[in-house]
Structure 1
Amino acid sequence: MTETEAAIILLSAKVALAATLFALPLAFAVAWLLARRCFVGKGLLQAIVTLPLVLPPVATGYGLLLLFGTQGPLGRLMEAVFGLTFAFRWTGAALAAGVMAFPLLVRPIRLSLEAVDRGLEEAAATLGARRIIVFLTVTLPLALPGLLAGAVLGFAKALGEFGATITFVSNIPGQTQTLSLAIYSLLQSPTGDAAALRLIVVSILLALGAVLLSEWAGRLIRRGGDGRA
């Protein structure tokens, strides 16, 4: 593997990890609302969350460009307040990957929260535990397998994101060229087949490793952390 290919892999991992870490808290909050609250517009919120899965990725990327580009309202706001630029930067690639992965984060977390036995929460509250204590000691541990599954699915999706990323931040080597974009570029070259194949194998191994890690950690959590996988 060449130094360039190693840099592409590291950039892809950085983008996917940043996308997952920043999307996870918001995904949990949205999943909590959908699982535990009844409110006007709940169906609309669910539809909005699902949009990145059903819209063409290019449309999502163009929407991000309009909102977070250098001339977009949110892009100008983020640059003025936080000094953060998204257009044609790795941060933009992370934003695009996070948006595309968001539905895959929300769904398993929501299902996990819906499966939590509310009687256990009520019992803890009856014994005098505050709401935050009930959440930290009862709800969160029981929902942890879904949280972990969502994080892994989101990471894997972010790692392979293509359409929204190339539309929003282009395909810039060393800055926004992640694994999928690099593979696409290599396949356009008559001499790029071997390098593209290497990156494809790396992509498969990373995704497979993430899923296996999720399965192992999920079993460990369900068995009470006794270390038997």
Structure 2
Amino acid sequence: MYVGYGMDLGYWGIVIASVILGGFTQAYIQSTYRKWSHVEATAGETGREVARRMLDAEGASAVGITSVEGHLTDFYDPRDNMLHLSEENCEGGSVASVAVACHEAGHAVQTARGYLPGRMRTALVPVVNFAQQIWMIVLIAGLLLDLAGLAQAAIILFALSVVFHLVTLPVEIDASRRAVAYLGHAGTGIDERGARQVLTAAALTYVAAALVSVLQLLYLVGRTSRRQ
């Protein structure tokens, strides 16, 4: 069935898959986080305190920690070398709070140790931001003007976003691995199973994003090749 570029069954299949995957991953991470946010880490420390100890122990003592508003808005910013933890994870002492805080500390440790995939992702950020702003414009221009070269250039630009998503996966998985490893041997008394569940649920967000981006790329390549 063909209705027009971007309006066939393949296109709508990707849209539906994106909605389903996005809804499932968000529901799963919210339910998992909610479950373990009611379980206190037995050491009685806050996410900030455990993350601070992890940073100091793993060679990232220069990294600062601050709190930000919002729910699960936690991130590490290499530009200011700061962990930005949501208030609930910064000051909370639950399994979920400590796990998320240490995951972000894991990213800081990656930077301190020159972790290669993390450096690759950081280097890709400005390139991908530019590509995301113009790839659709280039694609539409190529289709309207019937210029295969422009359409192919647009696909290459979009492919950079796919590469970014794929590089992000090992970065996120490694940050979680570092967090769980630290919590396991640092005497925090935290429920490692709970911490692992929280971080696994969070990782599914990145898996879903990578899968959808790959499907979109395959769709674009297939549709563009059929028009040539």
User: Normalising TM by the smaller chain, what interval?
Assistant: 0.3 to 0.5
TM-score, with length taken from structure 2: 0.35
Structure with more helix by fraction: 1
Highest RCO, 1 vs 2 (Cα 8 Å, sep ≥ 6): 1
TM-score, with length taken from structure 1: 0.35
